[in-house]
Amino acid sequence: MFNIITKEGYDYGFDPSKCAACEGKCCTGESGFIWLTLAEMEAIASFLKIEIEDFKSRYLRKIRYRYSLKERQVGESFECIFFDTESKNCSIYPVRPSQCATFPFWDYFKNHIDEVVEECQVSYYPSNNRFLPSFASGCMRPEAGHTSDASGDQDRRSACRRQCDTL
Ligand code: SF4
C-alpha cells in the first residue's frame, strides 16, 4: 500500500515510506546550503538542549547575511552536519528546517521535474498512477548542473534539500 503525498499545483507526489531505501541522498552529495530562520535555529537549539549561541557556533556558517547548516566533507562528497551516517537519517528530524520539510515540493521543481526524478526515488505521478522512472532504478545522483551560489565561486547541486542559492 502506497502512502503518496501530493500537493496542489505539483504534477508529482512522493511516498515517504520509500525514503529508507534511499538512505538520505538528498542530505548528501555536493556541497550546498540549508538556510534557517531565527525561529528554526531556536527550535533546533531547544531540541538539542543547548543555548542558541552555542548552536550557532557549533552548527551554523554565516553566508553574507544568512545562516546555513555546516556540512562535513566525506571523501569528495559532503553531507549535512545533522545527517546520521549510521542510521542514514536526519538526527533533528522533528525540527528539521522548512527547506528540508517541504522537499520535494518546491516551486522550482514545478518546471524542473526532471531534477526531482534524478534526485528523489520516491517521486510519483498521481495523474497516471505510476512512479517516475527513478523509483525503479533508485537514486542516481547525477550532478544537476547549477553553478551559481552564494559565494559565486563553487558549483552547487540543485535538486536536493541542500539547495543552490538560485532556487
Ligand atoms: S537538516 Fe535537512 S539536510 Fe540536514 S540531515 Fe536533516 S533533513 Fe537532511
The mean pLDDT values, 10 residues at a time, for the chain of 167 residues are: 78 78 85 96 98 98 96 94 94 96 88 78 57 40 33 35 48
CA of 133 to the centre of ligand 1 (A): 25
Query: Cβ distance 125 to 11 under 8 Å?
Result: yes
Res 162: pLDDT = 59
**Cα 128 to ligand 1 centre (Å):** 31
Q: What is the pLDDT of residue 30?
A: 87
Domain ranges of the chain: 5-137
CA–centroid distance, 99 to ligand 1, in Å, is 9
Ligand 1 centroid from CA 82, angstroms? 6
Enumerate residues lining ligand 1, CB below 6 A: 27, 34, 69, 80, 82-83, 90, 92, 96-97, 100, 161-162
CA of 1 to the centre of ligand 1 (A): 27
Q: Tell me which of 36, 67, 69 to substitute to probe ligand 1's pocket, judged by most ligand atoms within 8 Å of the beta carbon.
A: 69
Atom of ligand 1 nearest to the CA of 82: 5
Residue with CA nearest ligand 1 atom 2: 100
